[in-house]
Amino acid sequence: MRYSQTFIPTLKETPAEAEVISHRLMLRAGFIRKLTAGVYSYLPFGLAAIRKVEQIVREEMNRAGALELLMPMVQPADLWRETGRYEKYGPELLRFTDRHDRESCLGPTHEEVITDLVRGEVRSYRQLPLNLYQIQSKFRDEIRPRFGLMRGREFIMKDAYSFDVDDEQAGISYQKMYAAYQRIFARCGLQFRAVEADSGSIGGSYSHEFMVLAKTGEDTLAVCQHCDYAANVEKAAIKATADASVEPLLALVKIETPGKRKVEAVCEFLGIKSDKLIKTLIYMVTGGAEGVGTAGENSQQGYALAVLVRGDREVQEVKLKNLLGAAVVELAEDKAVFDLTGVPTGYLGPVGALGLKMKVVADFEIATMRNCVVGAGEKNFHLQNVNLGRDFEVDILADLRQIAEDDPCPHCGGVLGQIEGIEVGHIFKLGTVYSSPMRAVFQDQDGHERPMIMGCYGIGISRIVAAAIEQNHDDNGIVFPVAIAPAQVIILNLGLKDGAITAVAESLYAQLQTQGLTVLLDDRDERPGSKFKDADLLGIPFRVTVGTRLGKDGMIEIRHRRDGLTVDLAPDQAVKYLHDQISAALNQIEG
């Protein structure tokens, strides 16, 4: 590539719309331009980085035995209705009707389409296992698209789908993809962690997210400092305490607490710590499991549920939703709570009448507490010395709370830490979530018809580039890992009117390309300072400066973008040096 003949519209100032580092730098470096909210055009240099990521993904998917295809982005609504997702997916699914009044959607993912394809072609166990993948644009109508490519509405994604005869074989396919993802992100030069995760709207029984570690990450991860356990906080399990306190049970006491509704205010008034108080929260639940909702109510129409958690803890709503098998759980507003219970928020409790009006679920930590404080179910009053089993009962005890920094690792009991991460990949063990309702079946060795066991595996291709920038940058611009840099070397010709300088720059440009390296030759008629700034902004790993030193001592300068190391070499030594440096960098991350 010659700089004078490509399209890299760099900016000196950061656009006002830019919110995070990757968004700012991708705009300034001329990688992307906004078309509309959450939708971007990929300019040549930005697309070059994306293509580097795609190539790594293709190589590793093919190596793992997956086969590439390409499916339509427009999907008929009838397929989504077969699995019930057309109604459940929510407003992120962009629905529309064509001129023939046929309902369709823009694909945010392709589980239904691939299942429809495979059920029409696969009949026998002899045709399995099968793993098919594509790299394609997706569209999700995010309510608040932000952060550039980090959370856009349209994005480039690799999605793969495996089909197996049984759980054991599906587990093998899952592990192959897990290993392939490990190689992909290592080859991209990223610091990452695979964590246990919630399956969300995709469904299934088991999943892992692959998170790029970065301070600007949207997700918080719980990571053990002593073993390999890691999980998104939405999924992070709490290690249950085996025994309850041996503190003797005290007599129940009702005490007036005028105007004390908040945990802090109640604890200060009563002179107790927040770990001696039980919060009673009311949630509105839609689509709950049969028998959990309020008696006599249709759970699909929504019901109210009381949730108990220790005073210094927070309910993890994803855990609650999964426990109930619910579509939506929402904390009830104050007015709704009063309409349901006749009691203002802050004074609710599980003792007495409340337990007769709705079901009660509690975090299992409640079972270990003794002589606690709860709301009395009456304005301006609380109860002291309340105990589960003696004073109230619950319908379900479960792990419902958000993990805290003082919680032990659920695997080894070690110390957990919390770090921020950016999700760039997610793999799911789906089971028969799609194959059963869509009748994707095969005949086994005994001639019996059985549903295929599925898995799905996504990678955000465009998001990887943004996440790499979030993790690799400095005050001067991007610092790309060698493997995904849009160019590995940039040559600065600082003497366009000097025949000797130009000849050396052109010779290096040709030789480096012959060695298989990607090279950008800056042959613009610009001041040296502008060329240096743009080279740093673009994040190209190696900068070769051919200037006046060539005539003085016959040397050129090679600068490493990541650490600023500079090396002076004769031009005939430069090609081997750069080839060796880049090969070593690529071999290190691939190894």
Residue linked to tokens 């997916």: 89
Q: What pLDDT score was predicted for residue 272?
A: 95
Amino acid at position 268, single letter: E
Q: What pLDDT score was predicted for residue 232?
A: 84
Please check whether residue 274 is in contact with residue 388, taking contact to mean a CB–CB distance below 8 angstroms: no
pTM exceeds 0.85, yes or no: no
Task: Examine residue 129 and say whether the peptide bond preceding it is cis (omega within 30 degrees of 0).
Answer: yes
Instruction: Print pLDDT tens along the chain (591 aa).
Output: 999 999 999 999 988 888 899 999 999 999 999 999 999 999 999 999 999 999 999 999 999 999 999 999 999 999 999 999 998 888 899 999 999 999 999 999 999 999 999 999 999 999 999 999 999 999 999 988 888 998 899 999 999 999 999 999 999 999 999 999 999 999 999 999 988 876 555 555 578 999 998 887 888 888 888 888 888 888 888 877 766 667 899 999 999 999 999 999 999 999 999 999 999 999 999 875 544 544 334 445 689 999 999 999 999 998 998 899 888 899 999 999 999 999 999 999 999 855 457 899 999 999 999 999 999 999 999 999 999 999 999 999 999 999 887 788 888 888 888 889 999 999 999 999 999 999 999 999 999 999 999 999 999 999 999 999 999 999 999 999 999 999 999 999 999 999 999 999 999 999 999 999 999 999 999 999 999 999 999 999 999 999 988 988 999 999 999 999 999 999 999 999 999 999 999 987 655
CA 325 to CA 332: how far, in whole Å? 18
Domains along the chain?
A: 3-237+417-470 (3.30.930.10), 253-398 (3.90.960.10), 487-590 (3.40.50.800)
Please check whether residue 541 is in contact with residue 468, taking contact to mean a CB–CB distance below 8 angstroms: no
Q: What pLDDT score was predicted for residue 433?
A: 93
Pairing of strands 542-546, 489-493: parallel
CA 387 to CA 375: how far, in whole Å? 13
Please check whether residue 313 is in contact with residue 363, taking contact to mean a CB–CB distance below 8 angstroms: yes
Q: What pLDDT score was predicted for residue 290?
A: 46
Amino acid at position 326, single letter: A
CA distances from residue 20 to 32, 251, 366, 466, 470 in whole angstroms, order as listed = 14, 56, 41, 10, 8
Amino acid at position 147, single letter: F
Q: What is the Cα 346 distance to its own chain's centre? A: 35
Reduced to 3 states, what is the DSSP secondary structure of residue 433? coil
CA 204 to CA 171: how far, in whole Å? 13
Q: Find the radius of gyration of the CA atoms of the chain.
A: 29
CA distances from residue 402 to 224, 316, 405 in whole angstroms, order as listed = 16, 5, 10
Q: What pLDDT score was predicted for residue 220?
A: 86
CA 137 to CA 150: how far, in whole Å? 14
Q: What pLDDT score was predicted for residue 19?
A: 84
Residue linked to tokens 């709704």: 336
